[in-house]
Structure 1
């Protein structure tokens, strides 16, 4: 019985070994490994030098989008947005508490920032954006009311010509010493 099993298995092992060895040649002279290495090298982007970054920035500034952005930056609205962002930059950099008052439970009309609120921090208005809503993760935030005082922590503040307010990324929110939202760390490690 053992001899019959060995007699059946041995040819399968030899045949599969031969297929494994000669399969790359069946698809075109064994160059598949070279193509795979070549594409993986292409997918890794090298970082740009300072001169290349400067050249890319100049190129973008000369584009229609860059010209429009520069005009917005120089406008009174753009200057106000940047001034407001500067006021909270130390708290953003140090990831420290900022006290805010909810001024609106909705974002400006036409915004595409996902779920968010309008808050007043140090007498300036900000968009507090939490991102797209999934799995009721903002359930506690939906219970907020206008004039509620909250503590906010964030890692970033952004400016965009579409909005008349700086955009604060909502990473942490607390009301009455109770955490009502804390962004989960990313799974990819970044």
Structure 2
């Protein structure tokens, strides 16, 4: 008797599962269309005016993240990072050479900056990040410039050019984007220009 009941229930379960799947896929296109429309509406945001940006910043500063960030800015660690950034600001703006010495071949633990090293420039340490270079060994084995970056050693003297410097409260050093690196008068890394833009 149990076998007969199972034999009757099993086809019902299979058929109802198929009907449910069919209904889901039929309605899925509507759901996908709604998601796409919602995403496109969000992406077509007008540029904010200076007053609107200022108001948005004030609103963010009142959030827990904003409060924590402002505390970090006023702390000795935050002030040190800003002072280090100020030392190289002119070189960043003018995209001129900065002499550096590699002090560490690894980034701080928990870092999510991709591949990079720590360098000392004018007595201050900086994270030299190569965000466009993937840090997994499989990728690095096929990229000649990335292999040259891996050949860097502690105390190597390098010439760096960068278009930007940034910071984040979780890092004790400013983050310098690695756009150009030279060692012993040979270019070992030059970031490829972005496609479709400047």
TM-score for the superposition, normalised by structure 2 = 0.74
1:42 Cα offset (Å):
6.4
Q: What are the superposed Cα offsets for residues 19-78 of structure 1, whole Å, 9 maximum, x if unpaired?
A: xxxxxxxxxxxxxxxxxx9x9676422101111111100000000100000000000000
Structure with more of its chain in helix, by fraction: 2
Q: Which residue pairs with 1:48 in the alignment?
A: 48
Q: How does 1:2-41 map to 2 (within 5 A)?
A: none
2:160 to 123, 134, 152: 152
Q: Which residue pairs with 1:108 in the alignment?
A: 108
SS at match of 1:45: coil
Q: Give 1 or 2 for the bigger CA radius of gyration.
A: 1
Work out the number of aligned pairs and report it.
Answer: 155
Q: How does 1:108-187 map to 2 (within 5 A)?
A: 108-131=108-131, 132-133=133-134, 134=139, 135-136=142-143, 137-187=145-195
Q: Specify every segment of 5 or more residues in structure 2 that has no aligned partner in the other structure, as ranges.
A: 1-36
Q: For the aligned residues, what is the CA RMSD?
A: 2.0
For the residues of structure 2 that align with 1:42 and 1:172, how far apart are their CA atoms?
36
Q: Specify every segment of 5 or more residues in structure 1 that has no aligned partner in the other structure, as ranges.
A: 1-36
For the residues of structure 1 that align with 2:42 and 2:88, how far apart are their CA atoms?
41
1:189 Cα offset (Å):
1.2
Q: How does 1:39-78 map to 2 (within 5 A)?
A: 43-78=43-78
Q: What are the superposed Cα offsets for residues 134-157 of structure 1, whole Å, 9 maximum, x if unpaired?
A: 442411010011000000000000
TM-score for the superposition, normalised by structure 1 = 0.77
